[in-house]
Amino acid sequence: MIDKRVRSLAEAVDGIKDGSVVLAAGFGGAGSPEALYGALLEQGAKDLTIVNNNAGTGRIGLAGLMDAGRVRKIICSYPRSSGSVVFEELYRANKIELELVPQGILSERMRCAGAGLGGFWSPTGVGTRLADGKEEREIDGRHYVLEKPLKGDVALLKADRGDRWGNLTYNKSARNFNPTMAQAASLSIVQVRRFVELGEIDPEHIITPGIFIDRMVEVPV
């Protein structure tokens, strides 16, 4: 029997290794697996690379992991959200590495990894500083730069409903990076607002099919 549900947050994040690339979902608070971020702090893995649209706010969640010295590198599109105080402190002190990636390319690079492709030619950023060091090529009269797949060791996700096979739905714009990150990581862990019976989600409405999910924990927020 397929049953991807686990009983505790500790069990959900068990075994995440030092040095992991962690795909961290959410856009602002929407779709952000705060309970899993907290559990990862407890779990203790360090030397992490975090992939998120931003770089944490306040001193909890992703910022909490940074504040505790667990994060070696951030790959994000916009580390300047108001309240990204921990990141800014570490950045100024040269205690964290930053790889800045345009938001759509961040997402497309993860999809590329999930789809088993070796890279893609992107028009985004051509002629800008963010294309520095990237191979450039003209194809049919337009210029592109080569972008590489971005694969995660772990994805930390948040969904609305989930069944024991790992089929997921999301709520409104909380969908954001979650479905793509689920496809791009070796180990995909999701906090789900509500477990439902197998078959309760109409198959036409499933956004993330269970094949992309490894572990689920119920967190009713």
Partner 1 sequence: MPLSRKQIAWRAAQDLGDGVYVNLGIGLPTLVADVLPEGREIVLQSENGVLGVGPAPNENELDLDLVNAGKQPVTLLKGGSYVHHTDSFLMIRGFHLDLALLGAFEVAENGDLANWTTDDPKFPPGVGGAMDLAAGAKEVRVLVEHTTRDGSPRLRKQCGYPLTAMQVVKRIYTDLAVIDVTKDGFVVKEMVADIDFDALQAKTEATLHKAPDIKVLSAPAM
Which position among 48, 74, 101, 112 is part of the footprint of its own copies (CB under 8 A)? 112
Q: How far apart are CA 83 and CA 186, in angstroms?
A: 31
Q: How far apart are CA 210 and CA 123, in angstroms?
A: 33
Exposed, middle or buried: residue 221 (CB in 10 Å: 0-12, 13-18, 19+)? exposed
173, two tokens? 């714009």
The answer to the question of residue 43 lying near partner 1 (CB under 8 A) is: no
The answer to the question of residue 34 lying near its own copies (CB under 8 A) is: no
Q: How far apart are CA 73 and CA 103, in angstroms?
A: 17
Nearer to partner 1, 154 or 174 (CB): 174
Q: Which does 100 bind (CB under 5 to 8 A by kind): its own copies, partner 1, none?
A: partner 1
The answer to the question of residue 58 lying near partner 1 (CB under 8 A) is: no
36-54 burial code (b ≥16 CB/10 A, e <16): bbbbbbebebeebbbbbbb
Q: Under rule CB under 8 A, which residues in 169-208 are in contact with partner 1?
A: 170-180, 183, 198-199, 203-204, 206-207
Beta-carbon contacts of 29 under 8 Å, excluding residues fewer than 6 positions away, are: none
116, two tokens? 């088993």
Which CB contacts under 8 angstroms, 24+ apart, belong to 10-13?
Answer: 10/39, 10/42, 10/43, 11/215, 11/217, 12/36, 12/39, 12/189, 12/191, 12/215, 12/216, 12/217, 13/39, 13/40, 13/42, 13/43, 13/156, 13/189
The footprint of partner 1 on this chain (CB under 8 A) covers a number of residues equal to: 68
The answer to the question of residue 19 lying near partner 1 (CB under 8 A) is: no
Instruction: Report the nearest approach of its own copies to the CB of residue 125 (Å).
Output: 13
Instruction: Report the nearest approach of its own copies to the CB of residue 175 (Å).
Output: 9
The answer to the question of residue 31 lying near partner 1 (CB under 8 A) is: yes
The answer to the question of residue 163 lying near partner 1 (CB under 8 A) is: yes
Torsion angle of the four alpha carbons 157, 158, 162, 168, in this order, in degrees rounded to the nearest 10: -70
Instruction: Report the nearest approach of partner 1 to the CB of residue 16 (Å).
Output: 20
Q: Which range binds partner 1 by CB under 8 A, 8-16, 64-72, 123-131, 133-141?
A: 123-131
Residues near its own copies (CB under 8 A) are 108, 112, 115-123, 137, 139-140, 142, 144, 148, 169-170, 172, 203-205
Residues near partner 1 (CB under 8 A) are 1-2, 27-31, 55, 77-81, 87-88, 91-92, 98, 100-105, 107-108, 110-111, 113-117, 122-130, 163-165, 167, 170-180, 183, 198-199, 203-204, 206-207, 209-212
